[in-house]
Amino acid sequence: MQETFLIVTLWLGLAVTAALLASRLKLSTALVEICVGVAAATVASHFFGKDLPGSDVDWLRFLASTGAVLLTFLAIRAKWILFVLCGLGALAMWAGSEAVLPAYIAGMMLAGNAAKDNNWIRRMRTLTVGFLTPFYFLRAGSLVSVPSLVSAPLVFLALLAGKVGSKIFGLYPVIGKFRSNPKERWYYTLLMSTGLTFGTISALFGLSHGIVTPEQYSFLVAAVIASAVIPTMIAGWAFFPKHITSPERGYENQMSEIGESAPAASDCVPDPRADLPSAKAEPDVAGTEKHPGGIDAPE
């Protein structure tokens, strides 16, 4: 048990480190967890000559798989969801598939009911993202071999270009049906060109079943990480729509997309002088004309 507690402490310490870095760098926690896993595994291999402790332990692999399943499915109640998903996961493993895949199907079927209880979903996210998924993403990163990436950088670049290019090819025409501004099209296309969760899940599935080698797995996960960072950075730097930070401009864009012209800001604000009495001069009994300002002027 002592070794188990030490391993859990080590991995949760890495999870805390990743959370602090993600908060400081304004990046996705899952992305930083994978990078921290890569760094920790590299340090362990270089200085101690062995893998990161616990990376291939059965109970930690179970926690990582459970975290991946819950990450893709947040619906119904906790005990019931664990019962159903573990049962589906066991069935998928028996069939030679991945335990996380049935979660996608169940999630799509029950997503409508899950949206009715936001408090429960928030509690499930706290359990999933705060405790379970760090084991998954850290383990996915710890299996990456940095020397393999350095030895063949062109393979990594080819995989990255293929992944991002295929995403753009499929997304840009569809997004164009909902956004007429070219800048907005590219912004949303690049933001949706990532695939961090399912990309690492599929790569880890291939490694676990001998479909890909550890070197190939390293290239795949590195391409997944880069595809989550580079398109997002380009979208924020070059194609960020101004209406996101300008409520008035955003309203005008929404009205133009539905074929109506947005009213000017001056038309939406009532004139404070509208309710004042007419500034019409009235003669007084002394034969002078009293002006609204209170100054009497001769006729």
Q: What is the pTM of this model?
A: 0.60
Q: Structure tokens of 199?
A: 């990309």
Quick check: 185 and 172 in contact, CB under 8 A? yes
Rounded to whole angstroms, the Cα distance separating 227 from 238 reads: 17
**pLDDT value at position 255?**
44
Which of 128, 18, 135 is CA-nearest to residue 72? Answer: 128
**pLDDT value at position 240?**
85
Q: Structure tokens of 83?
A: 């019962």
pLDDT in tens, 141-167: 888 888 888 998 999 999 999 999 998
Which of 201, 207, 232, 218 is CA-nearest to residue 71? Answer: 201
**pLDDT value at position 184?**
86
pLDDT in tens, 182-205: 888 899 898 888 878 788 888 888
In 115-208, which ranges are continuous DSSP H helix?
A: 118-127, 133-142, 146-151, 153-176, 182-191, 196-208
3-class DSSP state of 218: helix
CA 193 to chain centre: 11
Which of 157, 73, 167 is CA-nearest to residue 121? Answer: 73
**pLDDT value at position 259?**
45
**pLDDT value at position 191?**
86
Low pLDDT (below 70) residues in the chain: 1-2, 5, 49, 54, 69-80, 82, 114-115, 243-299
The residue type found at 222 is: A
Domain spans of the chain, in order of start: 1-143, 145-264
**pLDDT value at position 220?**
93
